[in-house]
Structure 1
Amino acid sequence: MKQSKTLTEGALFAGIYLVLLLITFFIPLIGFLSFFLLSVPYIIYGARHGLRPSVVLFLATVLFSVLFATIVSVPVTVFAGLGGIATGVFIYHKRSPYEAWAGGAVSFTLGIVIVYVALEWLFQINWYDELQHMLETSVDQTKIMVEQFGGEVSEEQMNLLELQIQQMLYLFPTGIALFGIVFAFISQWIGYKVLKRLGGDSTDHFPPFKRFTLPSALLWYYLIAMVGMWMFNEQGSMFHQAVANVYTLTGLLIALQGISFIFYWIDYKKWPKAIPVVVISGIILFPFLFLYPVRILGIIDIGFHLRDRLESGGK
């Protein structure tokens, strides 16, 4: 009976995935939204049946992608399947939401890398080169527009722009990782909503953001990357690019911890709920002004366990 239910649900979720995949590729506007739903069938099925049936579902959807969609859809299916199954299996084993998020984020990031390699191998499309070309074209067009309006762009300004472009390209891996993290969060959040509708565990949800905490090990990664930035300071070197990406990514995560602590502190002090909105707005509008103080706050929170101290009465 249980095996029959597993097979029936597998066929159902495979069909749902195929519909979402076809919408994503062939209906432009709705397809953008359905793209963020592609991993949800894997999450639901993995959360209900575990790893082995999910792998069977994954193989079936890869086959369906080849038969009913386009060859380009296969890397997309791999991307959605890896992250969705990882997230679902974490939920199946009753791991914490943040552990499931971490597992999904790593798997989605791996999926993006697979898509990147597949597109370059199949169609000679290199995202890095395309991004570089787009940025350089944008700079050239900006220079032309300024000159058309009677302005002048000095060589020093052009060199500064080129340096900024190069720095953005250095952080291309960080962009991939951030996309994986955000996509994992959105997919898991939707997955929790669907699971709740299907009568899932009532504990399947993200805890309040004020409870968001990162492991202390992340602080060590950040500090090691900071030291690495000093040691490998030659622009363009492989080591510099690697540590720059680790430094940026861990720094953003620590800043997220700092924002979480601000939410916790506001709740702890029973301040008006409008204050978090003001805080987030300020960080978004003036990131260069507020991001570093928030990051420092995150470092202090991780290193000294501020919330535990506050809850224990400052002991």
Structure 2
Amino acid sequence: MPNNQTKALVQGSMMVALFTILMLISAYVPFIFIVALLFAPLPIAWYSANYKRSSSILVAIVGCILTTITSGITMLPFAFILGLLGVIMGNAIYLKKSKLYLFMSTGIANLISMAMVYLAYVKLAGIDFISMSLEMVRKNYEQSNEFAKSVTGQVALQPEQLEAMLKTIELTMPATITISAFFAAFIIITLNLPALKRLGVDVPKFAPFQNMRLPRSILWYYMIVLCINLFMRPEAGSTLDIIVLNVSYILWILLILQGISFIHYFISKKGMPTGVKWVATLLAIPLSSFMILLGIVDLGFDVRALVKGKTKE
């Protein structure tokens, strides 16, 4: 037991040192700071995958403290978020959970930690990044309008169009932040799991993207949202309108992904080259409405069995 405790202490110290170094690099090295940030959860995740949760949390806390001392208070929010993600990722591996569980837990942790950091900035420092970002977007569009007017004599966007667009961006900010948090979690998982595997950690695997099947309950959520929009018609800017708008946004993204997954499945079953999948994925962006419809059909009907049957024939 003493040997195990000593080993845990030594390895914990090493992981804290590595975490602190990565945060130092992200703070002071201009060109590779993004790479350092993306791999910063790796030491904490490795430790958390090998030791119990309480020890991992302690290591993450010490890492945050040392990061604050060495890199300054401005790096504390990043250390907090990335340290937490490392603990969540490693703990999911330690508990032998699936990669879907790992992804969902990491995404939720990322979202919650980002919200906590945002609230801390607003309450303690009076800095509202969302308002600042919206104001920056407004100024950029106004400058673009002025430039377009000076060149063509006409503005690209009328003032009322600009206000409507900015209002939509503001209302859909919760969904945008949620999607961004899960996307960032996906990137971090995708980069760090192979590294953990090379370090001797038994990591879970995702099923191929072409086999992705979202829960059919998403169709019911989509139907509920459609019914609210069609029959209740919530007042613009009301709480219900904001909720419906953000839920719709997230459901659209999920259904588009489901549609792309079906396209990949179809291409794979037909034996087409992998490059066709990339082309189809790129075309999914301008054909998003069709992809949503395809995602609905894929979830609602067993079309994959039909494709599989025809392929066998």
How far apart, in 1, do the equivalents of 2:7 and 2:299 lie? Answer: 45
**Paired residue for 2:78?**
76
Alignment of 1:48-87 (within 5 A): 48-87=50-89
AA aligned to 1:39 is P
Which has the larger displacement, 180-189 or 46-55?
A: 46-55
Q: CA deviation at 1:85?
A: 1.8
Give deviations 1:17-56, integer Å, cap 9, x for gaps.
Answer: 1111111122222112222222222322222224222211
**Paired residue for 1:281?**
282
The question of 1:34 aligning with 2:36 is answered yes
How far apart, in 2, do the equivalents of 1:291 and 1:113 lie? Answer: 29
Give the share of equivalent positions with the same residue, in percent.
27
How far apart, in 2, do the equivalents of 1:122 and 1:30 lie? Answer: 30
Q: Cα gap change, 1:213/1:89 in structure 2, threshold over 3 Å: closer, same or farther?
A: farther
Q: Cα gap change, 1:87/1:223 in structure 2, threshold over 3 Å: closer, same or farther?
A: farther
How far apart, in 1, do the equivalents of 2:123 and 2:164 lie? Answer: 30
Which has the larger displacement, 63-72 or 98-107?
A: 63-72
Alpha-carbon contact 1:83-1:106 (below 8 Å) kept = no
Alignment of 1:1-315 (within 5 A): 1-153=3-155, 157-201=158-202, 204-230=204-230, 231=232, 233-284=234-285, 286=286, 290-307=287-304
Q: Structure 1 length as normaliser, TM-score?
A: 0.89
Q: Cα gap change, 1:5/1:300 in structure 2, threshold over 3 Å: closer, same or farther?
A: farther
How far apart, in 2, do the equivalents of 1:138 and 1:301 lie? Answer: 40
How far apart, in 2, do the equivalents of 1:62 and 1:132 lie? Answer: 30
How far apart, in 2, do the equivalents of 1:147 and 1:24 lie? Answer: 41
How far apart, in 1, do the equivalents of 2:13 and 2:303 lie? Answer: 49
Q: CA deviation at 1:248?
A: 0.3
Q: CA deviation at 1:169?
A: 1.6
Q: CA deviation at 1:189?
A: 1.6
Alpha-carbon contact 2:48-2:87 (below 8 Å) kept = yes
How far apart, in 2, do the equivalents of 1:57 and 1:232 lie? Answer: 51
Alpha-carbon contact 1:196-1:204 (below 8 Å) kept = no
Alpha-carbon contact 1:40-1:187 (below 8 Å) kept = no
**Secondary structure class of the residue paired with 1:255:** helix
Give deviations 1:107-159, integer Å, cap 9, x for gaps.
Answer: 111111112112223322111211121121112212211222241239x8221
Q: Structure 2 length as normaliser, TM-score?
A: 0.89
Alpha-carbon contact 2:260-2:284 (below 8 Å) kept = no
Alpha-carbon contact 1:189-1:206 (below 8 Å) kept = no
Alpha-carbon contact 2:146-2:155 (below 8 Å) kept = no
Alpha-carbon contact 1:258-1:295 (below 8 Å) kept = yes
Q: CA deviation at 1:72?
A: 2.3
AA aligned to 1:303 is G
Q: Cα gap change, 1:228/1:90 in structure 2, threshold over 3 Å: closer, same or farther?
A: farther
AA aligned to 1:198 is L
Q: CA deviation at 1:104?
A: 0.7
The CA RMSD over aligned residues, in Å, is 2.3
Alpha-carbon contact 1:75-1:118 (below 8 Å) kept = no
AA aligned to 1:15 is A
Unaligned runs of 5+ in 2: none
AA aligned to 2:294 is L
Alpha-carbon contact 2:266-2:307 (below 8 Å) kept = no
How far apart, in 2, do the equivalents of 1:17 and 1:299 lie? Answer: 43
How far apart, in 2, do the equivalents of 1:312 and 1:103 lie? Answer: 37
AA aligned to 1:116 is Y
Unaligned runs of 5+ in 1: none
Q: CA deviation at 1:312?
A: 8.1
AA aligned to 1:299 is I
How far apart, in 1, do the equivalents of 2:226 and 2:79 lie? Answer: 37
How far apart, in 2, do the equivalents of 1:223 and 1:292 lie? Answer: 16
AA aligned to 2:258 is Q
